[in-house]
Structure 1
């Protein structure tokens, strides 16, 4: 196939992408992110709560930046998704989501992009959608950031597919590591099934492209 690379701006699910390794390792705290206020959170504790749950919102911010040139504050988008039923927050603080179908409906209604929740979503369709100018949010295991040879299960985290070659899928990973697995990170097609839960959300531009 002809190589495809969509020049999509990158956004992490934390406001300071360089802090991601430390936050994930527990050597840094999200509440200490100096850029936390850019998220739109009311305080650092609210930012910390949401930041671990913003992978899908980060993917949306990237798509909005790509097609509309805007990247609304992450926590504000998360609150809109909560109102739209794409998240369900329980009294004890547990959060269900991102729930694909109501999220796709929200994206179309609120942002004027085309959005389709697809399951199953085979790799051949991912290639085809990218070739047709669309972006694809994929449900993968978070260990895709290091290409862990033995993830415990597929799914649980959302990344944005932004390009492809014959041998590799290119992803923007909201919880990837700087300089390696954050933006345009290559994932061999042969390795993808270890992480990929065979479902996702296909996003298209304002014209449906």
Structure 2
């Protein structure tokens, strides 16, 4: 199964109020294992960066001034995600922003199936904090490099969190490769000796003993079927 772990950074909290996407980071997974393929881009939001948003992700007007608008790389983004299932932390937030940008670019809204890891975490840890930092701490994922939010870094951390929420590296206790190797070795080195078939016809003595045994049965079931 192909999945894309995805995160965005924005100028604010509400795309309907005109806030824009300024960064997208994507990690490709195949059967929950990272393939090494990524998509990462910064975008000029064509609006001033609010101070509160800059405090979160550190992306300034100066840094984003020479970056392309979202519409200039929309084809590359859509080609990368394809029809893969999306894995997103607080999915409605990111999908809402991406759909607003797609609408501005004259593109249809996202139709991909998606998994919201916030909902997964709440089912697994009811009543506990489910922020990305809290989950990294609880699940043993090293997030020491996360001094500010960043779409690609957060996608990398979320990919590890998602793996752990699905059972993690302990699903096979690391034995799968060893078991497979042992099976191959057994198949290569084992010689099977084929014995000739043994006769299975009963002797006269066995037939007589069986007939005597049947006589002692009370109300046998095969007589009821007649």
TM-score normalised by length of structure 1: 0.26
Higher strand share: 1
Higher helix share: 2
Larger RCO (alpha carbons 8 Å, 6+ apart): 1
TM-score normalised by length of structure 2: 0.24
| Bigger-Rg structure (1/2) | 2
